[in-house]
């Protein structure tokens, strides 16, 4: 049980004030465990799923440790990079830095985010003014190192966030290069949703006698996410998706596809059918991605179709539903995908549409999460009776009608902490306003100058 308060964690008044303003009342389990260890100076290997509050788990003690060095001095020399947070994607980088900024707002500590896909020159002047906390994607950080626009010789704290995804995305060589440039004497914290052997090796290479903490079984999925599977022919997926979207009262739904092509096609089709839908993937410009995400977060778009990499790290308050239009071939990706919902104690729904050729992946997923996911009976068809339509090859009974509805109850493991069962109450400032879903939207957002120019950066290549 987690009965401790933020005050019990000995955080400074300026941090506590920022937390109150963020609407946080009690630490999440990962925060309660990690904060004292980080304050003690231990290296940390933390197994925490997205949505558990892991950002604050490293950011709060980081700020607390850097507070004595904070200064109102305008001199860049007085604001060297003292903490480096490496993350796999731009979206996560933006979110992590926004959190750091919110928690640091009553201190003189400065933070900045740098990532690829935007003109590096727009970032350099900000770096030159001096920042204590730098959030970066590995590729772009190396670009800055090469251009000598950043110095890392005073880094005393390193965070590798979503380390498993950084490895999946091939960032290992970049990480090694960056780590070789950091002072040996430092504290390193590694966060990962899944624990593979590769992650264990990484922790052996980069951490010194790390303390291991886990808030949920590794590779497990959150207890407050209801998972369902529809076994369905590939050709019927679109109709089923539309039915699910119409039939659900979820105000926002994130839909995953395997490819950028399917994501774009699906968004176009749904849009034609009257859904406020948009797609987010690696072929979209940074500006388009930020606009699409903005519109979704504000509730102007009801359905966001995403590929794995583009959706990584998305933190959307109260996201009620995730649909896997195609399930991933890597079972870990399933854990990441459905972790977009059910965040910070809220309940969520994760629905997967599984074609016969995908069933082998479903079995792999169930093995990883040690759970049999409930098979749902097909929804009654609303469109004209099949006989009235020209039959399509994939809509033959073996795929469509003979859905093996097993109705296996979702196996439950004991709840780790009552906190997870409590409905999540966001602060008023973060509440999502949702207009009717079928109005196509033309999102307008006030974008920082940083995002306005775009330049491809191969080291941040995605999906």
Q: Angle at CA 452, nearest 5°, toward 451 and 457?
A: 60
Nearest CA to 302 out of 313, 316, 282 is that of 316
Q: Is 50 in the site for ligand AMP (CB under 6 A)?
A: yes
Residue 91 to residue 108: CA distance in whole angstroms = 25
Q: Is 315 in the site for ligand AMP (CB under 6 A)?
A: yes
Scanning 24-32, 112-120, 158-166, 444-452 for contacts with ligand AMP by CB under 6 A, the matching segment is 24-32
For ligand AMP, the binding residue among 47, 51, 210, 299 (CB under 6 A) is: 51
Radius of gyration, alpha carbons of the chain: 22
Rounded to 10 deg, the angle between the 197-206 and 172-180 helix axes is: 10
CB 347 within 8 A of CB 373: no
Instruction: Give the residue with the Cβ less far from ligand AMP, 2 or 441.
Output: 2
Instruction: Give the residue with the Cβ less far from ligand AMP, 52 or 137.
Output: 52
Nearest CA to 331 out of 303, 373, 293, 300 is that of 373
Least Å distance, CB 307 to ligand AMP, is 20
Least Å distance, CB 274 to ligand AMP, is 31
For ligand AMP, the binding residue among 9, 15, 42, 55 (CB under 6 A) is: 55
Instruction: Give the residue with the Cβ less far from ligand AMP, 99 or 264.
Output: 99
Residue 439 to residue 402: CA distance in whole angstroms = 36
SS3 348: strand
Instruction: Give the residue with the Cβ less far from ligand AMP, 5 or 147.
Output: 5
For ligand AMP, the binding residue among 34, 35, 42, 56 (CB under 6 A) is: 56
Q: Is 89 in the site for ligand AMP (CB under 6 A)?
A: no
Q: Is 28 in the site for ligand AMP (CB under 6 A)?
A: yes
Instruction: Give the residue with the Cβ less far from ligand AMP, 256 or 420.
Output: 420
Q: Angle at CA 99, nearest 5°, toward 94 and 100?
A: 100
Residue 24 to residue 15: CA distance in whole angstroms = 11
**How many chain residues touch ligand AMP (CB under 6 A)?**
15
> What does DSSP say about strands 44-47 and 187-192: parallel, antiparallel, or unpaired?
parallel
Q: Is 342 in the site for ligand AMP (CB under 6 A)?
A: no
Token pair of 340, please? 């977009």
Instruction: Give the residue with the Cβ less far from ligand AMP, 160 or 353.
Output: 160
Residues in the chain: 463
Scanning 22-30, 206-214, 231-239, 249-257 for contacts with ligand AMP by CB under 6 A, the matching segment is 22-30
Q: Which residues bind ligand AMP (CB under 6 A)?
A: 24, 27-28, 31, 50-56, 315, 317, 343-344
């Amino acid at each position: 049980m987690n009965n401790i308060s933020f005050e019990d964690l000995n955080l400074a008044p300026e941090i506590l004030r920022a937390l109150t303003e963020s609407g946080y009342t009690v630490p999440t389990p990962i925060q309660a465990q990690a904060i004292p260890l980080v304050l003690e100076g231990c290296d940390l290997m933390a197994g925490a799923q997205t949505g558990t509050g892991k950002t604050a788990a490293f950011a709060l003690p980081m700020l607390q440790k850097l507070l004595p060095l904070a200064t109102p001095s305008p001199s860049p020399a007085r604001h060297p990079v003292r903490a480096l947070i490496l993350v796999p994607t731009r979206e996560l980088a933006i979110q992590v830095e926004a959190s750091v900024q919110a928690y640091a707002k009553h201190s003189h500590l400065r933070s900045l985010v740098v990532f690829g896909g935007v003109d590096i020159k727009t970032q350099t002047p900000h770096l030159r003014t001096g920042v204590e906390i730098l959030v970066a994607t590995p590729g772009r950080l190396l670009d800055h190192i090469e251009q000598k626009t950043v110095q890392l010789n005073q880094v005393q704290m390193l965070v590798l966030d979503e380390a498993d995804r950084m490895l999946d995305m091939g960032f290992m060589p970049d990480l090694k290069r960056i780590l070789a440039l950091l002072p040996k004497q430092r504290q390193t914290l590694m966060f990962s949703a899944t624990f593979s052997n590769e992650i264990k090796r990484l922790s052996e290479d980069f951490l010194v006698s790390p303390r291991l903490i886990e808030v949920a079984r590794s590779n497990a999925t959150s207890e407050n996410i209801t998972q369902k599977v529809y076994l369905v022919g590939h050709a019927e997926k679109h109709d089923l998706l539309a039915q699910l979207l119409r039939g659900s009262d979820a105000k926002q739904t994130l839909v995953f596809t395997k490819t950028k092509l399917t994501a774009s096609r699906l968004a176009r089709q749904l849009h034609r059918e009257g859904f406020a839908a948009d797609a987010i993937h690696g072929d979209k410009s940074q500006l388009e991605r930020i606009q699409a995400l903005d519109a979704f977060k504000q509730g102007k778009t009801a359905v966001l179709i995403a590929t794995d990499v583009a959706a990584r790290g998305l933190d959307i308050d109260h996201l009620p539903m995730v649909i896997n239009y195609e399930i991933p071939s890597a079972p870990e990706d399933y854990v990441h995908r459905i972790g977009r919902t059910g965040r910070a104690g809220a309940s969520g729904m994760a629905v997967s549409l599984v074609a016969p050729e995908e069933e082998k992946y479903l079995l792999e997923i169930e093995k990883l999460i040690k759970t049999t996911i409930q098979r749902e009976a097909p929804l009654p068809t609303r469109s004209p009776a099949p006989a009235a339509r020209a039959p399509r090859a994939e809509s033959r009974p073996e795929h469509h009608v003979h859905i093996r509805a097993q109705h296996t109850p979702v196996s439950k493991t004991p709840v780790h902490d009552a906190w997870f069962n409590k409905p999540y109450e966001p602060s008023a400032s973060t509440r999502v306003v949702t207009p009717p879903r079928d109005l196509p939207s033309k999102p307008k957002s006030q974008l920082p100058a940083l995002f306005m120019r775009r330049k491809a950066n191969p080291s941040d290549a995605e999906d």
